[in-house]
Amino acid sequence: MSERALYVYGVVPGTAPRSLFDDVRGVDPSEPVTLVADGDVAAVASAVRLDEFGEAAIEDNLRDPGWLADKARAHDAVLAAAVGRTTVLPFRFGAIYRNEDHILELLRERADFASALRRLEGAVELGVKGFVDVGALAERLAADRSAGEETSAGRAYMQRKQEARRLDEDVELFVAERAQETHDRLAAVARDAHVNALQPGERRMILNGAYLVADDEEARFRDELADVARAHEQDRIDYELNGPWPPYNFAGDEDQA
């Protein structure tokens, strides 16, 4: 039997019942999720084996994308079990402690955990991604532009090339303005907002935003997004809402590397 340690997912208020986590398993699926409480806050933890999560083992495992995907999913599933039922302050993947005493030491040292929980109370994180059909938008902008111009049959090659470049620039400017407008409108109905790096993919992303939305503002937030989406439909831009997530983006120290 391998030596064991405790993997910590995040913290919840000290009053949160352990039963919140009855239906989920830890990053080691043979282990239940437990709470290590110290006054106002409790760490959400589960046992892990050092031959899987110890320093030497984890270095190897991290190079295995399948392992990493499974564990990241399990980490999220544990925190997600508490979303909407209590407040959660998520930790980044990979916080592992030798035993309960060391977790209690951490909780005592970090008075800011309790204040972070108060800041996040009664809110969830929602994600919004915006995508544009660049080709269709460019055609539309080009059509708008040429509508007023006379078409000369003998336009020089260089001139056409220049116009194409100008059109690309216009498209970029256009989608950047739309994305900013959307973010500003959503941020106005959120408690906090964060713009993340765009993700590459088959569809061209123009916005990747995270919003901390108060529970009683969620309907308004969805309405606002639906409203923006309707207005941008003609620009060949569409939006996807995801979540609710544990508030990963609002844990408070995303500037730390």
Binding residues for another protein, rule: CB under 8 A, are: 5, 10, 50, 53-56, 58-59, 62-63, 65-66, 68-69, 72-73, 75-76, 89-98, 102, 106, 113, 116, 127, 196, 199, 201-202, 242, 245, 248-249, 251-254, 256-257
**Structure tokens, 40:** 């106002």
Smallest gap from Cβ 150 to another protein, in A, equals 43
* Shortest CB 90 distance to another protein, Å: 4
- Give the shortest CB-66-to-another protein separation in angstroms: 6
Span between the terminal Cα atoms of the chain, in Å? 35
Q: Which residue's CB is nearer to another protein, number 62 or number 219?
A: 62
Q: How far is CA 199 from the centre of its chain?
A: 12
CB of 100 to another protein, least distance (A): 11
Q: Is the Cβ of residue 71 or residue 232 nearer to another protein in the bound state?
A: 71
Residue 121 Cβ, how far from another protein at the closest point, in Å? Answer: 16
Residue number with CB closer to another protein (96 or 187):
96
Question: Please, which residue, 62 or 226, has the CB nearer to another protein?
Answer: 62
Nearer to another protein, 50 or 141 (CB): 50
Query: 69-78 long-range contacts, Cβ below 8 Å, gap at least 24?
Result: 71/27, 74/25, 74/26, 74/27, 74/29, 75/9, 75/27, 76/245, 76/246, 77/24, 78/9, 78/21, 78/24, 78/26, 78/27, 78/33, 78/44, 78/46
Q: Residue 30 or residue 199: which is nearer to another protein going by CB?
A: 199
Residue 6 makes CB contacts below 8 A (sequence gap 6+) with 36, 45, 46, 47, 48, 96, 97, 98, 99, 100, 103
What minimum distance in Å lies between the beta carbon of 24 and another protein? Answer: 14
